């Protein structure tokens, strides 16, 4: 079976039937890649001394040891102190992401979630949601609101409508679930659907985003005991409280400003025989007064809303 990369070149001399699955992946990435790679090893293992080039050019000590690298999201898992199952990281940015440690290599039957190696052992998931802050900003601009409309005081005015109005909060194509939406789908009261009360739409959008996140992380089979929230929108207490209420788990915001860099440093320290749990207890601390407990009176409300959200989603795909 030839591989054609779409530019007319192709790799017609390569017969994939003669290769194992991992060799197929390597050969499809780059010819003769395997012989250029080191043997697989744990991220926390030392690979040897630093190259003399870096010693001469940048002044590193010739005794400096090197460890294997990892990706930014796996490093963030370490830097956010979430390397054991039950600790979830949600990053609220242009796109929202959900990542968490898993004890086993489960895969998403729908193909939306990703599975990676946990840098300090076992596995981790990563699920990306394209309509993150872009959707929140779109609703804000649609009704000429400011971010105070998303905070605790504003959301408190619509608490009686929690879970009642449903929104598929997709202002454009989404990847989790994969569908080419072009606008949100609304189902609820006339006041909600007409937009005459923008506060109801703010609540429904946030509920929809995190119900969607909760729904599409169920395949992991990991109970969410604690959520560590990061990203620009995590500073908004109303949004953070909504996360806590939907998942019925405490939410923490960390002092860490660059969790990927911190995670890489912690991995290097573990390679130098330091204890990861001790290091995370020191460096992965929640900001003072930033922890939010879930409103347990809303647990059943959002359990019911989750089922209704799934029905609405299934009817519009």
Per-residue pLDDT reduced to its tens digit, 230-250: 888 888 999 999 999 999 999
Q: Are residues 10 and 50 in the same domain?
A: no
Q: Are residues 18 and 82 in the same domain?
A: no
Q: Are residues 106 and 154 in the same domain?
A: yes
Q: Please check whether residue 80 is in contact with residue 70, taking contact to mean a CB–CB distance below 8 angstroms.
A: no
Q: Are residues 57 and 199 in the same domain?
A: no
Q: Please check whether residue 127 is in contact with residue 213, taking contact to mean a CB–CB distance below 8 angstroms.
A: yes
Q: Are residues 189 and 292 in the same domain?
A: yes
Q: Quick: pLDDT tens for 265-276.
A: 999 999 999 999
CATH of the domain at 216: 3.30.420.40
Q: Are residues 20 and 145 in the same domain?
A: no
Is 0.75 topped by the overall pTM?
yes
How far apart are alpha carbons 276 and 259 in whole angstroms?
15
Q: Are residues 20 and 164 in the same domain?
A: no
Range of the domain at 22: 1-37
Q: Are residues 291 and 259 in the same domain?
A: yes
Q: Is the pLDDT score of 16 beyond 70? A: no
The total of structural domains in the chain comes to 3
Q: Are residues 112 and 254 in the same domain?
A: yes
Q: Are residues 60 and 91 in the same domain?
A: no
Q: Are residues 28 and 49 in the same domain?
A: no
Q: Are residues 139 and 288 in the same domain?
A: yes
| Mean pLDDT score, 138-143 | 97
> Exposure of 163 by Cβ count < 10 A (0-12 exposed, 13-18 middle, 19+ buried)?
buried
């Amino acid at each position: 079976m030839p591989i054609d990369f779409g530019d007319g070149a192709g790799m017609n001399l390569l017969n994939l039937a003669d290769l194992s699955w991992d060799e197929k992946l390597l050969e499809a990435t780059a010819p003769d890649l395997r012989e250029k790679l080191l043997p697989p090893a744990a991220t926390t293992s030392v690979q040897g001394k630093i190259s003399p080039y870096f010693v001469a050019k940048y002044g590193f000590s010739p005794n400096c040891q090197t460890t294997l690298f990892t990706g930014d999201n796996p490093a963030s898992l370490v830097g956010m102190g979430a390397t054991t199952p039950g600790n979830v990281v949600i990053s609220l940015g242009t796109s929202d992401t959900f990542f968490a440690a898993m004890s086993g290599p489960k895969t998403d039957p729908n193909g939306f979630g990703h599975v990676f190696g946990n840098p300090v052992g076992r596995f981790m998931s990563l699920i990306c949601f394209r309509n993150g802050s872009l959707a929140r900003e779109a609703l804000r601009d649609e009704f000429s609101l400011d971010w105070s409309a998303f905070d605790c005081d504003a959301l408190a005015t619509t608490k009686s409508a929690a879970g009642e109005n449903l929104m598929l909060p997709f202002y454009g194509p989404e990847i989790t679930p994969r569908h080419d939406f072009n606008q949100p789908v609304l189902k609820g009261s006339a006041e909600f659907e007409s937009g005459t009360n923008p506060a109801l739409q703010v609540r429904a959008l946030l509920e929809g985003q995190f119900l969607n996140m909760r729904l599409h992380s169920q395949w992991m089979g990991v109970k969410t005991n604690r959520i560590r929230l990061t990203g620009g929108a995590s500073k908004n207490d109303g949004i953070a409280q909504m996360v806590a209420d939907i998942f019925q788990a405490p939410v923490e915001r960390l002092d860490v400003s660059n969790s990927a860099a911190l995670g890489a440093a912690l991995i290097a320290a573990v390679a130098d025989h330091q204890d990861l749990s001790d290091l995370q207890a020191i460096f992965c601390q929640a900001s003072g007064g930033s922890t939010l407990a879930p409103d347990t009176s809303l647990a059943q409300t959002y359990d019911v809303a989750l089922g209704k959200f799934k029905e609405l989603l299934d009817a519009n795909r």
